[in-house]
Amino acid sequence: MAPLAPAAATAVAAKRGLGAAFIFQKALISALVALVLFSLMIGVRTEAGPEGQLIYWTRFGDLAAMVGTVFVGSIVIELLRHWWGPVETIRVVPARVTSGLALARRAIAPVLLIGTFLVPVIFYDQRYILDLGILVLTYVMLGWGLNVVVGLAGLLDLGYVAFYAVGAYSYALLATNFDLSFWVCLPLAGILAAFWGVMLGFPVLRLRGDYLAIVTLAFGEIIRLVIINWQDLTGGPNGVSGIPRPTLFGIPLDNSDDGLAALLGIAYSPTHRIVFLFYLILALALLTNWATIRLRRLPIGRAWEALREDEVACRALGINTTTTKLSAFATGAMFGGFAGAFFATRQGFISPESFTFQESALVLAIVVLGGMGSQLGVALAALAMIGGFELFRGLEQYRMLVFGLAMVLLMIWRPRGLIGHRAPTVFLEHNQAISSDVVKEGRG
Amino acid sequence: MDYFAQQLINGLVLGSIYGLIAIGYTMVYGIVGMINFAHGDIFMIGGFIALISFLILVSLGLTFVPVILLIVLLVSMAITALYGWTVERIAYRPLRHSFRLAPMLSAIGMSFVLMNYSQIAQGARVKPVPPIITGGYTLHESVDGFVVRLSNVQIVVVITTIVLLAVFTWLVARTRLGRDMRACEQDQTMAALLGVDVDRTISMTFVIGAALAAVAGMMYLLYYGLVDFFMGFVAGIKAFTAAVLGGIGSLPGAMLGGLLIGLIETMWSAYFSVEYKDVAAFSILIIVLIFMPTGLLGRPEVEKV
């Protein structure tokens, strides 16, 4: 932080000296507000009694504890705030720091990649870590897929999980009904999801900003409701089970005579399949990443970014916004479809419960937290979010509460995401980094 | 014909509940320009507080229904309004000048917080209450025995909605606060320069929206006789759909949109399939937006460069 100007410093010092009464007053008000807020919701507990009649009992102890927590918490927060002093919101990064960071940034991606490649080698015996790795990579892939729509094209999509669902159900239904193999279904799932992406794209072509958000949300819900209610095709709430496992280009990874283990003449172990799934999702995720990076350099990718920055200017430059938007939706949806097909083959069972709005919000949170448009940021955010989510597995009940709170606090702390930095794809003489704090977002 | 008349009544009652929630969305969107994703959950909290205060009042020995209803209404409006204020204070005010996705994500986060908070505090099971207002009038009885009924609950819901709308319209059109709100809606910077306390006005917007959502929550409790922690999500999307359908930012539009969504949903359930009623409501939203991107009563958005 830059040294404070003398006047500001004395103001802070004065505040520190005067603080006690002020802080106490503020904490008291917070506690009073908390008392009213929690009075009925926490102070009284309702439950259906033996005859179906609602009964209630009081929990004044819990209420007092909550109000006390708010009182103390508010004092702590105020103290921290005074201690840190005013924080400058716009800062210009010095050149040396920038170059240091750029070096670290160049190093971190290869290190992460190699590390990820080595995970199945190092943790071969630890099923839990491998499963967690597969889960994180699935979200990395979903995040990268949504990043095309939200991060590059600036189209806010709250129904991304619909394409995930389309991919998963495409694979599940094709494989269980027609005995098609995973490698035939994977492109089909991608194409079907892309098709639905275009279907969603058409109505939203004329919409701007937040209208888009609600239409995509509605679209996601429509797909989910249709899946639940079209029982003949999808099995309704019961889902689809018995989805075949993936094969290594036709060679099954099981204990049979023509399985991979028998062919190679090694002892069979169920870990083979997990390791295979790990590398499969890693390959799919890297494919997404590679395609995104390539597309960004093509005219279509530049059109996406132009659309994100300013739609009106974009149109004035003669860019066809219709094809630009539709291609962004289709591309993002296709990757979502791939991820869905992978999800179906990994789980062996899918049901509509896996495709709720919460999933969409989680993926969107990963993209925004990662810093929109930053591939590395999305990967780190997926690792942090899913890993963090995993930490709270013991506290099943409080997990979503903590997740919601974390979303709020992270947005307040870093509204631009973890990597709030964007390198321009086109530059004149040398690549100069811009801190995204000073970049203004267009309302696309 | 009788069947249609009955569905019309049911649809209008449901629509007034949606309309009350939709006003909260439309006001916040008009002034701050963000979708308050937590608004549906505020509605759910309002329903819970109405339920709990009702239980307490009954166990205290109160029997005169109008008094109970009035107290429940005031208590749930007051406490829920404070929820609205707190949510704005914690999750939205620090992000007022942030880039536009940030407040939306913190609103989604807040929605999860409220939903899981009430699940933890009150349990995940549906809470049913016995009918509080009973009785009604038979409007018409056809030859084959089909009865068109207007129940007292429906009368209460519609009358409360009309009264609150009248009060609210007066508030926006005639009071100082209403003038401040309209000023902030047009141009916050200019309003601030002319002496309007923008922060206070925005807080009040959230408070009023939450109070109306609390009324909707209580009406929902009276009408359906149950609340649960998840009801805010679907009701919230539908009310937002109503607000968009009517033209977001427009108050009469929100009410009109609410009524339309209520009618569509009821008619669809009556004549087609109950399972697809939400699909019908959302599809209509999409269709309307294709042909009228600003909704039914919305002003066309001017593109600024």
Note whether A56 contacts B121, CB cutoff 8 Å: no
Region B20-33: mean pLDDT is: 88
> Under an 8 A CB cutoff, do A41 and B240 touch?
no
Chain A touched by B60 (CB under 8 Å): no
Please name the member of A42, A213, A404 whose beta carbon is closest to the beta carbon of B121: A42
Measure the CA–CA gap between A279 and A388, rounded to whole angstroms. Answer: 23
Q: Given this model, what pLDDT does residue A442 score?
A: 40
- The β-bridge partners of A56 are A46
Q: What is the mean pLDDT of residues B92-112?
A: 86
Q: Which two tokens stand for residue A374?
A: 């930053």
Say whether A382 sits in a helix, a strand or coil. helix
Query: In Å, how far is B293's CA from the nearest CA of chain A?
Result: 6
Q: Looking at the predicted structure, is the pLDDT value of residue A89 above 80? A: no
Q: Which pLDDT band, with edges at 50, 70 and 90, does A18 fall under?
A: low
Mean pLDDT computed over B129-142: 80
| Residue B45 to residue B231: CA distance in whole angstroms | 10
Portion 190-229 of A in contact with B at CB < 8 A: 202-203, 206-211, 213-215, 217-219, 221-222, 225-226, 228-229
Rounded-to-integer distance, Cα B107 and Cα B98, Å = 13
Residue-averaged pLDDT of chain B? 87
- DSSP helix/strand/coil, A54: strand
The residue to which tokens 């009042």 are assigned = B57
Residue A108 pLDDT > 60: yes
From first CA to last CA, the distance across chain A in angstroms is 33
Lowest mean pLDDT among A282-291, B12-21, B89-98: B89-98
Q: Residue A419: what pLDDT?
A: 66
From the centroid of its chain, how far is CA A141?
Answer: 10
Tens digit of each residue's pLDDT (9 = 90 or more) over A291-308: 998 998 899 988 998 888
Taking CA–CA distances from B118, the nearest residue in chain A reads: A41
Residue A288 has a pLDDT of 93
Higher pLDDT, A120 or A192: A192
The whole-angstrom separation of Cα A369 and Cα A360 is 14
Question: pLDDT band for position A328 (50/70/90)?
Answer: very high
Would you say residue A418 has pLDDT above 80? no
Instruction: Tell me how far apart the alpha carbons of residues B133 and A163 are, in angstroms, rounded to a whole number.
Output: 45
List chain A residues with CB under 8 Å of B282.
218-219, 221-222
Give pLDDT tens digits for A153-203: 888 888 899 999 999 999 999 988 888 888 888 999 999 999 999 988 887
Centre a 10 Å sphere on the Cβ of residue A366 and count the other Cβ atoms it contains. 27
pLDDT-derived band at A87, boundaries 50, 70, 90: low
What letter does residue B162 receive in the DSSP assignment?
H
User: What b/e sequence results for A51-83 when a residue is b if at least 16 CB atoms lie within 10 Å of its CB, and e otherwise?
Assistant: eeebebeebeeebeebbeebbeebbeebeeeee
CB B101 within 8 A of CB A368: yes
Cβ pair A144, A378 in contact under 8 A: yes
Interface membership of B87 toward A (CB under 8 Å): no
What are the residues facing A434 on neighbouring strands?
Answer: A422
Per-residue DSSP letter, A395: G
Greatest mean pLDDT among A102-116, A118-132, A232-246, B36-50 lies in: B36-50
Distance between A190 CA and the closest CA of chain B, angstroms: 24
A-chain residues within 8 Å CB-CB of B100? 209, 441, 443
pLDDT tens, B249-296?
888 889 999 999 999 999 998 888 888 888 888 888 788 777 877 778
Closest residue of chain A to B45, computed from CA coordinates: A41
Cross-strand partners of A251 = A248
Q: What is the ipTM of this complex?
A: 0.85
Per-residue pLDDT band at A283 (split at 50, 70, 90):
very high
Compute how many other C-beta atoms are within 10 angstroms of the C-beta atom of residue A127.
12
User: B285 with A211: CB under 8 angstroms?
Assistant: no
> What secondary structure letter does DSSP report for A237?
G
- Checking if the pLDDT of B61 tops 60, the result is yes
Nearest-by-Cβ selection for B279 from A42, A226, A368 = A226
More confident residue, B107 or A272: B107
Round to whole Å and give the CA distance between A335 and B209: 39
Whether the CB of B95 is below 8 Å from some CB of chain A: the reply is: yes
Name the band, by pLDDT with cuts 50, 70 and 90, for residue B139.
confident
DSSP tag of B93: G
pLDDT digits (tens, 9 = 90+) for A198-226: 988 887 777 766 778 878 888 898 999 99
CA distance A203 to A219: 10
Q: In whole angstroms, how far apart are CA B22 and each of A227, B178, B239, B254?
A: 28, 18, 5, 5
Residue showing tokens 């105020």: A78
- The pLDDT, as a whole number, for residue A92 is 61
Query: What confidence tens digit (pLDDT) does each residue in B212-233 have?
Result: 999 999 999 999 888 988 899 8
pLDDT band at A425 (very low <50, low <70, confident <90, very high): low
* Contact yes or no for B128 and A48 at CB 8 A: yes
Q: Looking at A282-291, A312-321, B200-209, which range is the least confident one?
A: A312-321
